[in-house]
Amino acid sequence: MRDDRSTLTDRLANGAFLAVMGLARLLPYHRRIPAMGWVFAHVIAPVAGWRRRIRDNLALARPDLPAAEVEALVRAVPDNAGRSLAEIYSGDAFTDRIRRADPLEGPGLPALEAALDSHRPVILACAHFGNYDAMRAALAGRGWPVGALYRPMNNEAFNRHYVPAITAIAEPLFPRGRSGLSAMLRFLKGGGWLALGFDQFDREGAELRFFDLPTRTVLTPAELARRYDALLVPICGIRQPDGLSFRVHVGAPVAPDEPRVMMQALNDDLEMLVRRHMDQWFWVHRRWK
């Protein structure tokens, strides 16, 4: 049934996306992913105002960057976003590649294995970096109990096919808001592993530092870790130079402390990661306000 709350603009934008994605699916996987990256870098980003926002954010966080590097990032950041969306909509072609590669690595991997053996809950602290869903596909590929909190899209017409696409990668998923909260907490208390984002501006969050700039950061991952004695680890899917494969890096567990201290540690860890892979973080977000 059509959701009457979808506006005409939403339906037109959704129709355009489905048309582009339908054409992209005619291409083999190794050509489809870079093709969607090109569309986002050269068509979507200029129309959506992404290039200006990327420049503005880089001027705040990395004023030391040469102009040529800034302009390269203005194209590389949307390219990664387009690739990521195409991967999500590629279903088994994406998840099977991840699972065959089993790309999990990093100093936090033994702690995850120990948590699995002891049925200890885990908070997976993740960011809009690389491809977030590469992490979920890799963990689910090992049969590990990964769930995630997600924010429904504002475009409800788009949301009707986006949610099934991300659900196919790994389950369970919990919508942000009251409807998903109780189920999410039951899952976590039962020893589930919950992926939570922490890298967007949160009006109700604590004022912490990111790239040595003040910004409000959500405390929920640390608060839940303390409340339920859950392991808290940073995790990310790092896109490799071929543009198609990933390393899924599990960082060292964050030591229990006050939530502000724990979340600042996650901000610092993410900053180091972003500085190494500037093109893979979503610089389009209004992280500093």
pLDDT digits (tens, 9 = 90+) for 206-253: 999 999 999 999 999 999 999 999 999 999 999 999 999 999 999 999
Q: How confident is the model at residue 180, as a pLDDT?
A: 85
pTM score: 0.93
pLDDT of residue 158: 87
Instruction: For residue range 254-276, list pLDDT tens digits in order.
Output: 999 999 999 999 999 999 999 99
> What spatial distance separates the first Cα and last Cα of the chain, rounded to whole Å?
39
Tokens 């088994």 identify what position?
Answer: 92
What confidence category does residue 1 fall into, taking pLDDT thresholds of 50, 70 and 90?
very low
Spatial distance between the Cα atoms of 199 and 232, rounded to a whole number of angstroms? 15
Structure confidence at residue 28 as a pLDDT band (50, 70, 90): very high
Give CA–CA dist 209/199, Å, rounded. Answer: 11
pLDDT, tens only, 82-114: 999 999 999 999 999 999 999 999 999 999 999
